Amino acid sequence: MRKAFALPTVAIAAAAFPLLTMGTALADHDGSYQASLGALNQSGVTGTGMVTLKGDQATVTVKASNLLAGSPHAQHFHIGAQGVCPTDADDKDGDGFLSTTEGAPAYGAIGTSLTTTGDTSPDSGLAVDRFPTAEGGSLTYERTFSITEDVQKAFAAGTAVLVVHGVDKDGSGAYDGDIKSDLDPSLPMEATAPAACGPLKAAQMGTTPAGGAETGAGATSGVENQAAIGVGALAAVGAAAAGAVAYRRRQADQA
């Protein structure tokens, strides 16, 4: 009789173990992330990015200044590389521009296009008609949308990077110049070269990002749910084990 009940009890315990870890895996990326934007291509651009994730929903706020006034500025989550920003020294071909391609080993490929309306996939990476315009040289962007699983994983892994594009290298007041974009030769390099970059890192506890809840709430809610799942699973295992022991005792008494 002992063998007959030992196996089911162990099996129940083994079946409950995934419940303890499943919630953690699904919620690893939930929480708030911040980026401090640093200038690239001597743009002088500064700014901040704030992202709050819950499941596949991302609420994004970007604020930047010292941009080319009156012009659209492409902006993206880049993923799949080192999760860091390049430097102007990464201008490998020596043309005076750090191009998007030259920066890719550091920040990766486009994971999400931060458009103002419509599609946010990499397919909209150069949708200049749907990126924010820097009125007066500054922009404020706010939007909530769905993100793909690979982008969720990049946030969880700490390899998501916010990049804002568009520089006025020659000070002409427009995107122009003889050097063509590495992404689309019909555009000048100034239109697509990265202007600012910042790794998106989990916000520190105790900080309250503008327009968002205190980061502690977003970062721990998943953990609380996981704890509840774990307690419930362990309680089920404990109840099953206790029942098996009681049954064995009754069988022994009757023998």
Residues 187-241 pLDDT 10s: 999 999 999 999 999 997 544 443 333 223 333 333 333 333 333 333 333 333 3
Radius of gyration of the chain (CA): 26
Q: How many residues does the chain have?
A: 255
Burial class (CB in 10 A: 0-12, 13-18, 19+), 130: middle
Determine if the pTM surpasses 0.75.
no
The CA–CA distances, whole Å, from 71 to 29, 108, 192 equal 33, 25, 12
Q: What is the pLDDT of residues 94-152, one digit of tens each?
A: 999 999 999 999 999 999 999 999 999 999 999 999 999 999 999 999 999 999 999 99
Q: In 3-state terms, what secondary structure has residue 246? A: helix
| pLDDT at residue 204, rounded to an integer | 74
The token duo for 93 is 């071909």
User: Distance (Å, rounded) from C-alpha 204 to C-alpha 131?
Assistant: 29
Question: Do the beta carbons of residue 160 and residue 92 sit within 8 Å?
Answer: no
Contacts (Cβ under 8 Å, ≥6 apart) of 30: 53, 54, 55, 218, 219, 221, 222
